[in-house]
């Protein structure tokens, strides 16, 4: 950021008298589009919220790349309609929070709770540039959560279920966990 010198007694663009202190000005050469995260305006977002915040501000190309990588089930009920709207708009060549809001209204996936969440995500600090790394982080969290749930389900089923049912729990949960692992590896390659 460069500084702009104001002389004592001079007026700024709005006609206000200045004090002679150096005022910051925006350096036209700065590039925030490559920032990994901007400071959030409000509480610190979760990794998934930061990903969706970045998705809101991503170019359609960035959003489409994320769509091919991320597991949509990795998001909460409040985030899923926002993610779906971002991906649908990106497929049409558009992006942006206002278009996401409009899309959700048209599709009937809009609610007051989703609107409040969307409002918070707009200022959460995510950037499109960081989507590859954030996708990998979201999927890593999802993989660990699912591995833990899978382990608990097997332990509980081992005590009470018939062997055939236990085998079904093992194979179904294992297939889901493997799919999450493969998505995580794809995201890690994208982030590299």
Report the pLDDT value the prediction gives residue 41, as an integer from 0 to 100.
74
Report the pLDDT value the prediction gives residue 44, as an integer from 0 to 100.
84
Report the pLDDT value the prediction gives residue 192, as an integer from 0 to 100.
87
The larger pLDDT score, comparing residue 95 to residue 40, is at 95
Q: Nearest CA to 121 among 33, 44, 35, 31?
A: 44
| Contact between 93 and 60 (Cβ < 8 Å) | yes
Residue-by-residue DSSP string for 35-64: -SBPPPSSSPPPHHHHHHHHHHHS-HHHHH
Write down the pTM of the prediction.
Answer: 0.75
Quote the mean pLDDT of the chain.
Answer: 84
Report the pLDDT value the prediction gives residue 157, as an integer from 0 to 100.
95
Q: How far apart are the first and last CA of the chain?
A: 30
The confidence band for 181, taking pLDDT boundaries of 50, 70 and 90, is very high
Give domain limits for the chain.
43-131, 132-191
Residue-by-residue DSSP string for 72-89: GGGS-TTTHHHHHHHHHH
- Give pLDDT tens digits for 84-114: 999 999 999 999 999 999 999 999 999 999 9
- In this structure, of 22-31, 33-42, 135-144, the range with the lowest mean pLDDT score is 22-31
């Amino acid at each position: 950021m460069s500084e702009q010198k104001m002389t004592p007694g001079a007026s700024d663009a709005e006609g206000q008298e200045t004090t002679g202190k150096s005022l910051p000005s925006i350096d036209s050469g700065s590039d925030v589009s490559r920032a990994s995260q901007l400071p959030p305006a409000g509480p610190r977002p979760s990794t998934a919220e930061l990903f969706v915040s970045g998705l809101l501000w991503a170019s359609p190309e960035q959003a489409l790349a994320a769509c091919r990588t991320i597991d949509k089930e990795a998001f909460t009920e409040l985030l899923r309609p926002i993610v779906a709207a971002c991906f649908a708009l990106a497929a049409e060549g558009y992006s942006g929070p206002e278009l996401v809001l409009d899309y959700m209204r048209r599709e009937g996936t809009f609610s007051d709770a989703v609107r409040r969440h969307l409002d918070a995500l707009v200022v959460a600090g995510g950037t499109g540039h960081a989507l590859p790394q954030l996708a990998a982080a979201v999927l890593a969290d999802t993989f660990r959560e699912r591995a833990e749930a899978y382990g608990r389900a097997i332990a509980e089923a081992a005590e009470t279920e018939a062997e055939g049912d236990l085998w079904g729990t093992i194979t179904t949960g294992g297939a889901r966990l493997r799919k999450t692992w493969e998505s995580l590896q794809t995201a890690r390659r994208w982030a590299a």
